[in-house]
Amino acid sequence: MSTVELEHPTFAPQHVGHQFEELDQQNDAYIVGIWIFLVTEIMFFGALFLALTIYRYNYATAFEEAHNALNWKLGMLNTFILLTSSFFMAMAVRAKTLDHRSETKMWLGLTLLCAFGFLTVKYFEYSAEIREHHFPGPTFRWEAPSRANVEANTPLIQMSEAPKGIAGLGNYTPQPIEHHAHQLFFSLYFIMTGLHGLHVLVGILVLGCLWVLIAVKHPAVEDYIPLEIGGIYWHFVDIVWIFLYPLVYLIGRQ
C-alpha cells in the first residue's frame, strides 16, 4: 500500500501567500517559526530541570525518599501513552501530506484520545498524592522513615530571623518547615508536571481545532503545514515528558 502511494503521490495542495516569494520560503518560514517558539519552551523547561538538578544535588537523600512516593507504574503508562500519541501524530501528518482526509481525521482523533488518556492518568496520580498530603503547603505531611534523616531537616537557608520592617508582616514568626526538602521535591514535581499538563491541554486545544477544521474542509487547512506545525509542538510535549519521567519518577529508585 505504502509503496504504491509513494510512487504516484498526490500531495495536499499548497498556495503561496502573497507575502512570500515561493513555496519553499513559505514552508521554511512556518517550520522555522515553530522551532523558534520551541526554543523559548526549552528555555523555561530547562530552567526548571536545572532547579531540580541543583536541589537534588543539595538534598539527595530527601529527594530519593520523596520520589519513591510517586507512582512510577502510572508514570510509565503515561510515557507509553505519549509515545503512542506521537506515533499517531506522525501518521496523521503523513496522511495529511498525502491529502488523505479521513485517514488524517482517524490518526488525529487517536492522538487526541491519547492526550485525554494522559490527563486522566495524571488526574488519578494527582488525587492520590493530594489524598496522601503530599501537596506542598500547610497540609503537607511526610511520614518520616525509620532511619533518622538528618539531612532532610537541615535547612539550606536558616529561617531563624523574622523579616523586619515589611509592612503587614510585623507579627510574622516563621515556623520551622516540616520536611522542607521533601516539600521542595513535591513543589518541583507539581510545578513541572503541572506545566507539562498545561502544555498537553494546549495541545488538545490546538489539535482539536485542527481536527474540526479538517473535518469541515476549511480552506485554512487545505495545506498540510498547519497540521505539521501542530505536530511539531505535540512531539515537543512528548520530549519534555521523555526527560521528566526518568528524572522525576525513576532516578535512584531502589
Minimum Å gap between C-beta 183 and another protein is 21
The amino acid at residue 40 is T
Three-state secondary structure of 174-217: CCCCCCHHHHHHHHHHHHHHHHHHHHHHHHHHHHHHHHHHHHCC
Residue with cell 529561617: 159
Contacts of 160 (CB under 8 A, 6+ apart): 174
Q: How far is the CB of 225 from another protein (least distance, A)?
A: 9
Question: CB-side exposure of 53: number of CA atoms within 13 Å?
Answer: 7
The reply to whether 23 sits near another protein by the rule CB under 8 A is yes
Does residue 160 touch another protein according to CB under 8 A? no
Stretch of 5-13, 109-117, 119-127, 141-149 lying at the interface with another protein (CB under 8 A): 5-13
The C-alpha cell of 8 is what?
504516484
Residues 54-113 that bind another protein (CB under 8 A): 54, 57, 72, 76, 79-80, 83-84, 86-87, 89-91, 93-94, 97-98
Selected range binding another protein among 24-32, 137-145, 189-197, 210-218, rule: CB under 8 A? 24-32
Q: Is 155 in the site for another protein (CB under 8 A)?
A: no
Q: Pick between residue 142 and residue 241 the one whose CB is nearest to another protein.
A: 241
